[in-house]
Chain A
Amino acid sequence: MAAALWVAMSPVTMAAETGQSLYNDNCAACHQRTGLGIKGAFPALIGGKMVTGPLPALIPTVLNGRGGMPAFKSDLTDAQMAMVLSYIRASWGNKASVITTVQVTQARIKASAAAKPKNLQAH
């Protein structure tokens, strides 16, 4: 196959990952880049106990999903999840503490969030 026919870059190749780039890639589709969400569909991530409060609620929600939100336990590593959650907790006026990789790992173990092997196809 002639390499010249191949387009070099897909729009989603990742450069150096940051909390912001991870957020934009994984979360912004629903919660929006502004963190404002879409009324009636996806909640805003600004303020509120879930986002800025104590950890027990936040990390399991992202790992396992709830109320319509999908689970990201198989899509993000512990380090990536810590980066994106820290970004959210420090953005758009949020002023909550950073989340560490260790905290995510502990939450994952606690939630027994063992990733089930994904089927190659679902439906």
Chain B
Amino acid sequence: MVSDPVTGSGGAFTRRRFFEQLAAVGGVSLAMAGMDALGFGFASAATLPPPLPGGAKGTRIIILGAGLAGLTAAYELGKAGYEVQVLEARGVAGGRVETARKGFVDTDVMGNRQECDFDDGQYINVGPWRIPYHHQSTLHYVRKFGVQLELFNNDNDAAYVYFEKGKGPLAGKPIRKGQIAADARGYTAELMAKVASKGDLDAVLSATDRQTFIDYLVNEGRLQRSDLSYKGTDGRGFDIAPGAGINPGAGKETTPFAFADVLNSKAWSVLNSVAGWEQQRTMLEPVGGMDMIPRGFVKNIPDGVIQYKALVDRIQQNAKGVKVSYTDASGKKAEAAGDYIICTIPLSVLKNIKMDVSKPFLEAMSNVAYAPVNKIGLQMKTRFWEEKHWIYGGHIYNDIPGIGTISLPSTGWHSQKGVLLGYYSFGGEAAKISALSPDERAKFAVTQGQKIFPEYAENFEKAFSKSWHLDPHNLGGWAEWSDESRKAAYPVLCEPDGRIYLSGEHLSHLTGWQAGAIESAWQQIAKLHQRVQQA
């Protein structure tokens, strides 16, 4: 409690004192909200669950699905005094938050059954694998449940880019990203600086701006002050690394590529001024696997709340309540009754379950696509990417069909073995590769990676692949809304149909992110709670 709201030292009510009081009352987030309100510019991301005061009035909620939306709803509503029952189809909670380690089994709709055989301690996150620093909703639960975090390297200039569809001498060669960046920016800055210095840009720049603009370009492009030319820079690396004594001494810098070669290679398509908002350089991952997050939820939800291997058959509602018919773990038909439903089942699957909702609601549900998504983890018997190529985490951007991205682990540095992500692809490319058997998928991934790392094939030990569109509980990696369906269908589904509330990443603008699921759940439980209070 705030003891003295007004006086700080000397009795003056400073802004700083105001924020301190806010923080004392409402925690850091309230202080930040206050700062934001006064224009200190924090993003207005949802950072805390909604308060649910006033009790639950004996209300019973059936939650369908124990992915992150269902877990969030179950945890928060349970704490607020609601009677909660969760029906989960799988034998484990977490939904798409799956971490494949030794013993993990996956069976897809094609009948491909894989049992992960990685060495102890090795794993691959086949669902979400990185948390943007600004997904504070996800990080709220990470903090709350004591999940340990480590940095996820989302941008590594030492990592290779590989563009086989480009033209010229740089096409089809693994090249350090930093070299492409230095050269593309250096030559561009040189062009602009020379044009500006001749006065050709004076129509757009004032006389003082011209020099400032050139100063900026010299800095940005690493240009020679003397003649504004780009002659390379130490940041793009050394042919002979500098060291001790006379030899190697100062070493020898690498020579820049020709500008035409850089442009023709198409490798510049990986460059931009800043990363997209969801792809910022600073990302985080839980130590030991992303599934540490759902495990944290489960530890903090009372036993018996979540029923596993419960397959929903029918969802009914009337003016007085709701009823869910399901098949339980032993195969028996069962029913769950309650006052409201929060249904987090993906729309791709939900459309096949009979549900008592209006025709417009059903029509809205049918207008959402789900993304085919592929991932494969390849266990390698040595960490050649670190030992031989000096690449510590990060992505190998490339244009190899069916691969998307190859990514190196941000964990287990310098240990003997490691699991890298051999492909991460979407859409038609993912559909193609997923038609292969798991063994063929692994062969494909290893063959393609061999183009970039000569040690790839000889180090390959074991693989585990996941195709989310072939998972019977998901039929897709995440929801894909079109401009049309966002306008017409999305608002319909954000509101409840009678006593049924939908929730999940699909009902957010953070589709495919854990934060989308969590924040959707926060919104829906807030609505539901308000309704219960007013009833």
List residues of chain A with CB under 8 Å of any chain B CB. 1-2, 5-7, 10-12, 24-30, 38, 40-42, 64-72, 74-76, 112, 119-123
CB-CB under 8 A from B444, the residues of chain A are: 10-12
B431 touches A121 (CB 8 A): no
Bound complex: CA A71 to CA B352 (Å): 20
B351 touches A67 (CB 8 A): yes
- Chief secondary structure at chain A's binding surface: loop
B451 touches A6 (CB 8 A): yes
Q: Is B503 among interface residues, defined by CB-CB distance under 8 A?
A: no
Q: Which of the residues B110, B432, B433, B513 comes within 8 Å of A123, measured between beta carbons?
A: B513
Q: Which of the residues A6, A69, A70 comes within 8 Å of B450, measured between beta carbons?
A: A6
- Given A30-B469, A123-B512, the answer on whether A70 and B454 have CB atoms closer than 8 Å is no
B427 touches A74 (CB 8 A): yes
Q: Which 7 A-B pairs have the closest CB atoms?
A: A65-B369, A75-B428, A68-B348, A29-B435, A29-B431, A123-B512, A67-B366
CB-CB under 8 A from A75, the residues of chain B are: 427-429
Chain B contributes a number of interface residues (CB within 8 A of A) equal to 63
Bound complex: CA A41 to CA B346 (Å): 12
The closest CB in chain B to the CB of A68 belongs to: B348
Bound complex: CA A123 to CA B427 (Å): 14
CB-CB under 8 A from B368, the residues of chain A are: 66-68
> Shortest CB–CB separation between residue A10 and chain B, in angstroms?
6
A sample of 18 more A-B contacts (CB under 8 A), given A70-B370, A122-B371, is A6-B450, A7-B447, A7-B450, A11-B443, A12-B401, A12-B433, A28-B435, A38-B110, A41-B109, A67-B347, A67-B351, A67-B366, A68-B349, A68-B476, A70-B372, A72-B427, A72-B428, A121-B424
- Chief secondary structure at chain B's binding surface: mixed
A121 touches B395 (CB 8 A): yes
The listed residue with most B CB atoms (<10 A of its CB), out of A38, A41, A76, A119, is A41
From 434 to 478 in chain B, residues with beta carbon under 8 angstroms from any chain A beta carbon are 434-436, 440, 443-444, 447-448, 450-451, 454, 457, 467, 469-470, 472, 475-478
> Shortest CB–CB separation between residue A41 and chain B, in angstroms?
5
> Shortest CB–CB separation between residue A18 and chain B, in angstroms?
15
The listed residue with most B CB atoms (<10 A of its CB), out of A24, A38, A70, A76, is A70
The closest CB in chain B to the CB of A5 belongs to: B454
From 366 to 414 in chain B, residues with beta carbon under 8 angstroms from any chain A beta carbon are 366-372, 395, 397, 401-402, 404-405
B347 touches A68 (CB 8 A): yes
List residues of chain B with CB under 8 Å of any chain A CB. 109-110, 128-130, 269-270, 276, 278-279, 347-349, 351-352, 365-372, 395, 397, 401-402, 404-405, 424, 426-429, 431-436, 440, 443-444, 447-448, 450-451, 454, 457, 467, 469-470, 472, 475-478, 480, 482-484, 512-513
Q: Which of the residues A25, A42, A122 comes within 8 Å of B432, measured between beta carbons?
A: A25
Bound complex: CA A6 to CA B434 (Å): 23
The closest CB in chain B to the CB of A38 belongs to: B109
29 inter-chain pairs at a CB distance below 8 angstroms, sorted by A residue, are: A1-B451, A6-B450, A12-B433, A12-B444, A25-B428, A29-B372, A29-B467, A30-B431, A41-B472, A42-B475, A64-B369, A65-B369, A65-B370, A67-B365, A67-B367, A68-B349, A68-B475, A70-B369, A70-B370, A70-B372, A70-B476, A72-B428, A75-B427, A120-B269, A121-B279, A121-B395, A122-B426, A122-B512, A123-B130
CB-CB under 8 A from B426, the residues of chain A are: 122
B369 touches A29 (CB 8 A): no
> Shortest CB–CB separation between residue A31 and chain B, in angstroms?
10
B450 touches A11 (CB 8 A): no
> Shortest CB–CB separation between residue A60 and chain B, in angstroms?
10
The closest CB in chain B to the CB of A13 belongs to: B401
The closest CB in chain A to the CB of B433 belongs to: A12
CB-CB under 8 A from A67, the residues of chain B are: 347-348, 351, 365-369
CB-CB under 8 A from A76, the residues of chain B are: 428
> Shortest CB–CB separation between residue B479 and chain A, in angstroms?
9
